[in-house]
Structure 1
Amino acid sequence: MAPPPLRFLQANINRCARAQDLLLQSMARWSINIAVVSEPYFVPPRNDWMEDLSGSVAIIASAAAGTLTHERVKRGQGCVAARFGGIVVVGCYFSPSRTLAEFHNSLRELSDVVVEYGSLPVVVLGDFNAKSQAWGSRYTDVRGRMVEDWALEVGLDVLNRGSVATCVRMRACCRLASNGGGGDAVGPPVYPVRRLHRSLERASPTGPKWSTLGVETAGQGAPPEASIVQSWVQAPVRPDDVNNEADWFREAMSSVCDSAMPRVRRSQARRKVYWWSRELASLQAACYAARRRYTRYRQIRIRPVDAVAREAELYQGYRDAKTLSRARF
């Protein structure tokens, strides 16, 4: 009996502790076997965490992998690779501050890592900070063309679906994988999927709603199979009755969505805790307003003569408001 296909997840958490906790929770929820995280907050000294030499990217072997073990770990500056049975997983992160020459050298180093594993199937997951229409960007930049040529040279195919980004920040990233990699899907990033999920809830105030979390990593054959089964149900006999036909079509689409995605449960409204008061609310609002004045003043491009003194004054006001707010909590 063939082993079940591996499930992959790639995300950039931007050195955020809460994002790393969310990443680990998503891995457990979606039964992810292997994850590649760019800019991790902390890499624990454990065997199931493998990081590169610069600490900018790491490969995580989840507990959902069971007896899956890694071997032949290769580390470089901004890239790390490990073999999991008959498949090689490579994680990489190329900072946007790198020059084109440094970017080219990083791709050469990544090529050496990929070629070193010989004819084994390779899956490359990472943030290249490169834009290309080949993986859903609106246009192609110089880095994007370099990555396209590099992928062609080492024999990799782009597996990105649509224009789903792998990073919250306004930079395009891509995920690459080779043919016959053995994985069923390259998992979606954590933050953009949560944003999409919330926007769908706001856009549909009435009627049933379905959660899109984990749809790309779940069974890919569920929507087509459900559509085929639903097509067996006979449509209304009278074609002139538009209302009956619309009701039938709505029920058919609901059945297909129910088989592919879980329904969204209504979340309970947040309630105030017993110790909350108007004084605390006003102090918190004053703290937010002081921080907003300080941050907006720092964004002014044409600075007046007394800009330094004014900035220091606004910052001190923000600190005083923050100290007063924390003292009352």
Structure 2
Amino acid sequence: MNAAPSFKLLQGNLNHCSRAQDLLLQCLTECSVSLAVVAEPYRVPDHPRWFGDNAHLVAVYWAGGETDPPCSRRHTGQGIVAVDWGPLAVIGCYISPNCSLVAYEAFLGRVGDCIRGCLPRPVLVLGDFNAHSRTWGSKSDNARGNAGESIVDLSWTTASAERLVTGWRVAEEIVTLSDHRHITLDVTLQLPVRNGRQGESPARRWALKRLDRDMLVAAAHVVDWSGAAAEGATPDLEQRAARLRADMAAICDAAMPRVRSGRRGPAYWWSDHIAQLRAACLRFRRKFTRARRRRTASAVETEERYREYRNATVALQLAIAEGKSRSWSGLLDGLDRDPWGRP
């Protein structure tokens, strides 16, 4: 009997930083992440693989690979977004540190309502709750820490989902350009087998936001006309059902584009030079972290290590901006040279 497949899930906070989001997208590709829950995204793209809350405070990104579990939106609220990911319900959360305790407790109540609405599915909750307590290493307590009973970046599950999480760790090797560290989880999911057959092609998906309604109606008429002569030609229900599925797929193909499956390649602005700068940034961050933790390190040494880390971070951000600008200029030049070609 084959073991259930394992999928990688990432939890992060981007602090509304555009460069942090650029690096996150590259990281998702390199690490083969199937699903990501992101607090404080810089922006939530209008794309069927992105699911954002009502205020763009938290978002879920779905990779949409051929072997990834299907994903669909379940619930959207203020600072809350929930999706169905295969047999699992995943809830992303974010609450501002500036709201009152009354508003914070009301937010926790809405999270609880969302969890109850997802049951009996296994539920995984990931988010930034901005709650501080000396119990988990903060310098001081606050009322949110007492009310939420959580660390700042929280990952927790219902009892039925606990056995599905086979790995949880802070990904210190990932450069985030933020004071937050990304968290990675390995989730083992036993996906349902369609019609009892393994290896069947994944479900087809279409970009509904790009639907051409006039073309949809026209395509339906054409399919109806072409199939009128064959109506009732075969009494076999399986064949008639297969024909109906093929007709519906043809109508959808004519009216809107399909959502592409498969892993994305590297970001269009990515280069070996940026990869080297990211590695240098990580190296200097480790030196700064070690100096800050060592009791024997002087304040001058700690400040010097921080300056090196900060300079490396700025160099990485500038290189990303330059790479994106250069790629955009190349695209415009390509349009001038060949307006109907590759660009």
User: How far apart are 1:29 and its partner, in Å?
Assistant: 1.6
Alpha-carbon distance between aligned partners in 1 of 2:41 and 2:287, rounded to the nearest angstrom: 30
1:185 to 168, 185, 201: 168
In the TM superposition, 1:300-315 aligns within 5 A as: none
Amino acid at match of 1:176: W
Equivalence for 1:10: 11
**Is 1:27 paired with 2:10?**
no
Q: Higher RCO, 1 or 2 (CA under 8 Å, sep at least 6)?
A: 2
Instruction: Provide the C-alpha distance between the structure 2 equivalents of 1:139 and 1:46, rounded to a whole number of angstroms.
Output: 41
Q: What secondary structure sits across from 1:146 in the alignment?
A: helix
Aligned residue type for 1:178: T
Task: Assess, with a 3 A threshold, how the Cα gap between structure 1 residues 178 and 187 changes in structure 2: closer, same or farther.
Answer: farther
Give aligned pairs, total. Answer: 186
Aligned: 1:60 with 2:61: yes
2:285 is aligned with 1:199: yes
Q: What is the CA distance between 1:138 and its match in structure 2?
A: 4.2
* Alignment-mate amino acid for residue 36 of structure 2: A
1:98 aligns with 2:81: no
SS at match of 2:33: coil
User: In the alignment, which residue of structure 2 is the partner of 1:174?
Assistant: 154
Change (3 A) 1:38 1:81: same
Regions of 4+ moved over 6 Å: none
Q: Specify the alignment match of 2:80 in structure 1.
A: 79
1:1-329 aligned within 5 A = 1-63=2-64, 66-133=67-134, 135-148=136-149, 172-179=152-159, 180-181=161-162, 182-183=164-165, 184-185=167-168, 188=171, 190-191=176-177, 192=179, 197-201=283-287
1:52/1:18 CA distance change after superposition, 3 Å: same
Distance in 1 (alpha carbons) for counterparts of 2:50 and 2:133: 31
The CA distance in 2 between the partners of 1:2 and 1:12, in whole Å, is 32
- Structure 2 residue matching 1:98: 3-state secondary structure: coil
8 Å Cα contact 1:131-1:173 kept in structure 2: no
Distance in structure 1 (CA, Å) of the matches to 2:170 and 2:285 = 20
Q: Percent identity?
A: 34
- The offset of 1:50, in angstroms, is 0.4
Residue 63 of structure 1: how far off its partner (Å): 4.2
CA pair 78-115 structure 1, distance change in 2 beyond 3 A? same
Task: Name the CA shift for 1:203/1:11 in 2 (closer, same or farther; >3 Å).
Answer: closer
1:285 maps to what in 2?
none
Deviation per residue, 1:233-271 (Å, 9 max, x gap): xxxxxxxxxxxxxxxxxxxxxxxxxxxxxxxxxx9xx9x
Answer whether contact 1:38 1:93 (CA < 8 A) is retained: yes
- TM-score, scaled to structure 2: 0.48
How far apart are the structure 2 equivalents of 1:53 and 1:90?
14
- Give the CA deviation at 1:121: 1.6
Offset of 1:202 from its aligned partner?
A: 6.7
Residue type of the alignment partner of 1:50: F
What is the rounded CA distance, in whole Å, between the counterparts of 2:17 and 2:119 in structure 1? 36
Residues 14 and 40 in structure 1, CA contact (< 8 A), matched pair in contact too: yes
Q: Note if contact 1:28-1:64 (Cα within 8 Å) is conserved in structure 2.
A: no
Shift of 1:73: 1.6
CA contact (8 A) 1:32 1:65 kept: no
C-alpha distance in structure 2 between counterparts of 1:95 and 1:38, whole Å: 10
1:49–1:61 CA contact under 8 A, matched in 2: yes
The CA RMSD over aligned residues, in Å, is 3.0
Structure 1: tracts of 5 or more residues without a match: 149-157, 161-171, 205-266, 271-329
> Is the 2:133–2:140 contact (alpha carbons within 8 Å) kept by the matching residues of 1?
yes
Shift, 1:43, TM fit: 1.1
Specify every segment of 5 or more residues in structure 2 that has no aligned partner in the other structure, as ranges.
Answer: 182-277, 291-311, 316-343
Distance in 1 (alpha carbons) for counterparts of 2:136 and 2:65: 29
Label 1:203 to 1:128 Cα distance change in 2 as closer, same or farther (>3 A).
closer
1:55 Cα deviation after fit:
1.1
Residue identity opposite 1:105 in structure 2: A
Q: 1:274 maps to which residue? A: none
Contact 2:7 2:68 in 1 (8 A): no
Shift of 1:70: 1.4
Cα separation, partners in 2 of 1:203 and 1:91, compared to 1, 3 Å: closer
Q: 1:187 to 1:62 in 2, by over 3 A?
A: farther
Deviation at 1:135, TM superposition (A): 4.2
**1:119 Cα deviation after fit:** 2.4
How far did residue 33 of structure 1 move?
A: 1.5
Aligned amino acid, residue 51 of structure 1: G
